[in-house]
Chains A and B, each alone.
Chain A
Amino acid sequence: MQPKEIEAVHQRYLKKEGRTRSLVFITQILLFLVFIGLWEVLSRTNLINSLIFSYPSKIVALLWAQLADGSLLPHVGMTVWETVVGFVLGTLIGTLIATVIWWSPFLSRVLEPYLVIANSMPKVALGPVFIVLFGPGLVSVIAMGLAISVIITTINIYTSFREVNPNFVKVVQTLGGNKRQIFTSVILPATIPTILATLKVNVGLSWVGVIVGEFLVSQIGLGYLIIYGFQVFNFTLVMMSLAIIALVATLMYQGVAYLERRLTSQFK
């Protein structure tokens, strides 16, 4: 085959790939538009209860009005802030605990059943305790976001520490490395992909924790808006809050996914 022919075949392949990609994208957009359109039509013709489900044009109008009078942004800002703090703390503290447990095999054997219990317990049940401990406000909400992600982070990261190929550890040992050097030169860098993958899961978990926390205590935030909308039976407000949560949570997830791609590119 001549280089020109190879080039042509490759070009054809790329064109086909491009077509498939745009087709997927167009279908995705269409699906979304059909969903929104059906919702609007069904609700306006009262085929579904417009009081409960509201409809898109009304939600967008409310969103616009709230954005314009500036009453929405503080809620969004507060929830995002709480989520980010809960998420970062959950990851850091979980990694720290995992490190301590890895360091001491004795401690890991002692703590194993407790971790299993703590993991299987529904953390939101701790809500009342947090409210009494930290007062009804920001700290309780963050504590909830943290509680929900920290145990599973610990377990996931500790497991990945243990799954590092023992021969990598042996390499460092034969070069005379001590425990600290084994950790910093093998265990930690080898598990960075896993830690980042855990981070992606944690984003979702932190959102759950923060929204539940806001349900319980707060006077501000998207979780509060949902509960408030429910209490005054304004489901347009509830739906709008849900839409914002979906949007912001996706953005945050994509941010972490971007970070993951950047940091793990050298592992592939």
Chain B
Amino acid sequence: MMNKTPSTPAKIELGHVTHLYLSSNRAFMAVKDINLRVEEGEFICLVGPSGCGKTTLLSLIAGLEQPTSGKILIDGNRVTGTSSQVGYMLQQDYLFNWRSIEDNVFLGLEIKGIRNKETEEYALHLLDEMELIDVRKSSPTQLSGGMRQRVALVRTLACQPQILLLDEPFSALDYHTKLKLEDLVFTTLRRHKKTAILVTHDLSESIALGDRVLIFSRNPGQVRTELTIPAPIRHALPFEARNQEGFSDLFQYVWKEMEVLSDAAKGD
């Protein structure tokens, strides 16, 4: 944990957050009594079996849904709806095929009504950073999966959010692309000093990228274990972090935790 006085509001704070999904035949508790403090610039990873409410948590923080009970604060202010402070990246790129790459990137600016020369230039600068400036006039269908996901990242970053919610953004990519994109996202977020929460299935990814890893159990979704990643691994690029001393011990530890959870799930 970072040494900050508790009086200053955290970047993101969740207090006793519980969320129910209601349908005509049942009320399903997706997450139960989640407490979480994320400081500015932190990178948090959420792992856990599927159906443990990780994506629900992101939707709640993004303001897409309101928690059934509990509170969610960003900079000390209650979240009541989507905000331009929070950017969201989905599992797939979901680029709009009927728009060119640059028009896809400008989408957020258009929706927020802030599309002008200056913001466009910033977006194009980001596109350039991701080595995509040459394809700005292309159609998304002409791009590879990795390129498309990079465009999606630029689309999210173009609105200059301070917080990034990443919902398994690497899981649909092939392994090689995934490793390269992890490094790129990691350095980009560090450089732009963003706070990030990443949901992933990949345990080694969570250790390589995160400052802290939260392991969730399911039915209902709860935080089971919290793991702080030691500095050498935390500061290394994700690709190099995997070769750092102590990485495999951490992996073994998380792996065992997950095993316990899946054994418990079998007993259901």
Collect the chain B residues with CB atoms within 8 Å of residue A267's CB: 97-98
Tell me, yes or no, whether A174 is within 8 Å of chain B by CB: yes
Collect the chain A residues with CB atoms within 8 Å of residue B139's CB: 266
Complex contact B112–A175 (CB within 8 A): yes
Collect the chain A residues with CB atoms within 8 Å of residue B82's CB: 173-176
Top 4 closest A-B pairs, CB basis? Answer: A174-B88, A175-B108, A177-B111, A189-B98
CA of A268 to CA of B159 in the docked complex: distance in angstroms?
28
Nearest CB on B from A118, distance (A)? 27
Other-chain contact of B141, A171, A172, A175, A268 (Cβ < 8 Å): A268
Nearest CB on A from B201, distance (A)? 18
Q: Which of A13-21, A27-35, A77-85, A162-170 contacts B (4 or more CB under 8 A)?
A: A162-170
Tell me, yes or no, whether B110 is within 8 Å of chain A by CB: yes
Collect the chain B residues with CB atoms within 8 Å of residue A176's CB: 82-84, 108, 111-112
Tell me, yes or no, whether B36 is within 8 Å of chain A by CB: no
Task: Other than A174-B82, A189-B96, give 13 A-B pairs with Cβ distance below 8 A.
Answer: A167-B92, A170-B88, A171-B94, A174-B86, A175-B155, A175-B159, A176-B108, A185-B107, A185-B111, A189-B98, A190-B96, A267-B97, A268-B141
Which residue on B lies nearest to A268, using beta carbons? B141
Collect the chain B residues with CB atoms within 8 Å of residue A181's CB: 111
Tell me, yes or no, whether B207 is within 8 Å of chain A by CB: no
Complex contact B88–A168 (CB within 8 A): no
Tell me, yes or no, whether B64 is within 8 Å of chain A by CB: yes
CA of A189 to CA of B111 in the docked complex: distance in angstroms?
15
Complex contact A170–B159 (CB within 8 A): no
Which of A134-179 touch B at CB < 8 Å?
165, 167-168, 170-177
Complex contact A165–B94 (CB within 8 A): yes
Collect the chain A residues with CB atoms within 8 Å of residue B111's CB: 172, 175-177, 181, 185
Collect the chain B residues with CB atoms within 8 Å of residue A172's CB: 107, 111
Collect the chain B residues with CB atoms within 8 Å of residue A173's CB: 64, 82
Interface string of A239-250 (1 = CB under 8 A from B): 000000000000
Other-chain contact of A266, B64, B94, B98 (Cβ < 8 Å): B98
Tell me, yes or no, whether B87 is within 8 Å of chain A by CB: yes
Tell me, yes or no, whether B47 is within 8 Å of chain A by CB: no
Which of B33-90 touch A at CB < 8 Å?
62, 64, 82-84, 86-88, 90
Collect the chain A residues with CB atoms within 8 Å of residue B84's CB: 176
Other-chain contact of A175, B92, B98, B107 (Cβ < 8 Å): B107
Which residue on B lies nearest to A264, using beta carbons? B98
Complex contact B62–A174 (CB within 8 A): yes
Interface string of B94-126 (1 = CB under 8 A from A): 101110000000011011100000000000000
| 29 cross-chain CB contacts under 8 A | A165-B94, A167-B90, A167-B92, A167-B94, A168-B94, A168-B96, A170-B88, A171-B107, A171-B155, A172-B107, A173-B64, A174-B86, A174-B87, A174-B88, A175-B82, A175-B107, A175-B155, A176-B82, A176-B83, A176-B108, A176-B111, A177-B111, A181-B111, A185-B96, A185-B110, A189-B96, A190-B98, A266-B97, A267-B97
